[in-house]
Amino acid sequence: MNMMTELKTEAQFVDQFGRGKRKLRISVTDRCNFKCVYCMPEHPEWMKKHDLLSFEELYQFCDFMVRRGIESIRITGGEPLMRQGVVHFIAQLQDLKKLGLKRISMTTNAHYLKQYTQALKQAGLDDLNISLDSLDADQFKQLTQKELAPILDGIRAAQAAGLPIKINSVLMNGINDNQILPLARWSVQEKVHLRFIEFMPLDGDRKWSTEHVVSEQQILATLATEFAVTSQAIDLAQLNSDPARQYFIDGHPIGMISTITHSFCGTCDRVRLTAQGEFYNCLFAPKGLNLKAEIKALVPSEPLSEVSLSSALSNYIWNKEHGFHAIEQRLKNQSMNQNSRKISMHMLGG
Ligand code: SAM
Ligand code: SF4
């Protein structure tokens, strides 16, 4: 056994339900030029720039995590393309592929994508998830406060550059649920992989309620009015711990990320870090773990810095709860609600 395998097998992070951690999401900024109604609070309080971890610190943390079994890193935010230096960071992360990292991905609103496509490709980005919740320019503006055209340009640029993309669409009842068929038709026409996401209680202003959720069942019923809808024979989502359940419309793949009605928590292999060094073992975790000091200590490689980070993390990751429904139930039992936590999706990174 070589040194690298030894390190990985010795220290892979596993939770109490036996779920090993293979995917890390890093939010590089909480800032965003969009104001998606399901995400951004009306009056965001941005993290202070000097509180953010530097890319050097983030790199050392990624190195540490890859040596403990992380195979896939997703760069997210806020809007990741708003943080200067992010492309260089992606290029640097390529070095971790020799330690076992397999994929470097990004989730973006695509507003700045056209101008960054070539650089991202050159930096070795493996794939992109792009958020697009409406093809109607007026509705898009109401949802995000921004124009639709640059997003479509960004998508075309990524496709032309050969960067693999997936489109994520969050649907809200009475707001953009009329986009199910237009987005589905467009995905077939443009040959892109579309995934509908159920609206989760992670919006900044905590207005979420079950009435706003457009369920997987509702989406499938709408799709069936126009397409032949079939599902995958084996549930590959479960096998690959992919959050999206896979269907086909007229033979074209389409995914459903239905955390609310069909939680995928049972196979969850994801963990995440905010831009200022707070670590979350779950999107819905009632509390994060502040690792800022431990991560900063990795850079000068202070003695025992890895040991103290490792011990804090293994304990926190081990205690990861079963998932969304378990956390929701526990909070209800404690007569609190999920809104008591003050962190929302733009800080956590989706
Ligand atoms: N700004 C980038 C973007 O929008 O793609 C990356 C960050 S964003 C927080 C990541 C993903 O989270 C997006 O696909 C977005 O649609 C999703 N998201 C944000 N708030 C959500 C919510 N309350 N429920 C479900 N998905 C949400
Ligand atoms: Fe910004 Fe993404 Fe949140 Fe929309 S979903 S407000 S683009 S961080």
Tell how far the Cα of 189 is from the centroid of ligand 1, in angstroms.
24
* Residue 38 assigned ligand-binding role: yes
Strand partners, 194: 167, 254
Nearest CA to ligand 1 atom 7: 77
Phi then psi for residue 52, to 5 deg, are -75, 145
Residue 265 marked ligand-binding = yes
- 62 annotated as belonging to a binding site for a ligand: no
How far apart (Å, rounded) are the C-alpha atoms in residues 246 and 303? 47
Report d(CA 279, CA 237) in Å as an integer.
25
Q: Is 197 in the pocket of ligand 1 (CB under 6 A)?
A: yes
Confirm or reject: Cβ of 154 under 6 Å from ligand 1.
Answer: no
| Fold entry, domain 3-348 | TIM Barrel (3.20.20)
Q: What pLDDT score was predicted for residue 184?
A: 98
Distance CA 244, CA 35 (A): 25
Ligand 2 contact via 34 beta carbon (within 6 Å): yes
Both tokens of 232, joined, read: 């995958």
Whole-angstrom Cα distance, residue 322 to residue 281?
Answer: 11
**Distance (Å) from CA 243 to ligand 1 centroid:** 14
Ligand 1: which of 131, 165, 169 to mutate, judged by most atoms within 8 Å of the beta carbon? 131
Rounded distance from Cα 187 to ligand 2 centre (Å): 21
User: CB of 78 closer than 6 A to ligand 2?
Assistant: yes
State if residue 199 touches ligand 1 by the CB under 6 angstroms criterion: yes
Which single residue is written with the structure tokens 């409406």?
134
Residues of the chain predicted below pLDDT 50: 1-10, 336, 338-339
Note the pLDDT of residue 334.
59
Contact 33, 79 (CB under 8 A): yes
Q: Does 166 belong to an annotated binding site?
A: yes
Model pTM score? 0.93
Question: Which pLDDT belongs to residue 286?
Answer: 84
Is the Cβ atom of 74 under 6 angstroms away from ligand 1?
no
Residue ranges covered by each domain of the chain: 3-348
Using alpha carbons only, what angle is made at residue 161 by residues 157 and 162, rounded to the nearest 5 degrees?
A: 120
C-alpha 36 to ligand 2 mean position (Å): 5
Q: Quick one: pLDDT at residue 229?
A: 97
pLDDT of residue 301: 74
Residue 67's identity, in one-letter code, is: R
Amino acid 305: pLDDT? 82
Cα–Cα distance, 333 to 331 (Å, whole number): 5
Q: Which ligand is nearest to the CA of 338?
A: 1
> Does 200 count as an annotated binding residue?
yes
316 is in an annotated binding site: no
- To the question of whether residue 25 is assigned a binding role by annotation, the answer is yes
Q: Is the beta carbon of 126 within 6 A of some atom in ligand 2?
A: no
Mutate to test the pocket of ligand 1, among 36, 82, 151 (most ligand atoms within 8 A of CB): 36
Q: Is 36 annotated as a binding residue?
A: yes
- Whole-number percent of the chain with pLDDT over 90: 74
Contact by Cβ (8 Å): 344, 39? yes
What's the CA-to-centroid distance between 252 and ligand 1, angstroms? 24
Q: According to the model, what pLDDT value does residue 5 have?
A: 43
Q: Which atom of ligand 2 is nearest to the CA of 345?
A: 3
Nearest to 25 by CA among 88, 82, 79, 70: 70
Query: How much is the pLDDT for 239?
Result: 59
Question: What's residue 252's pLDDT?
Answer: 96
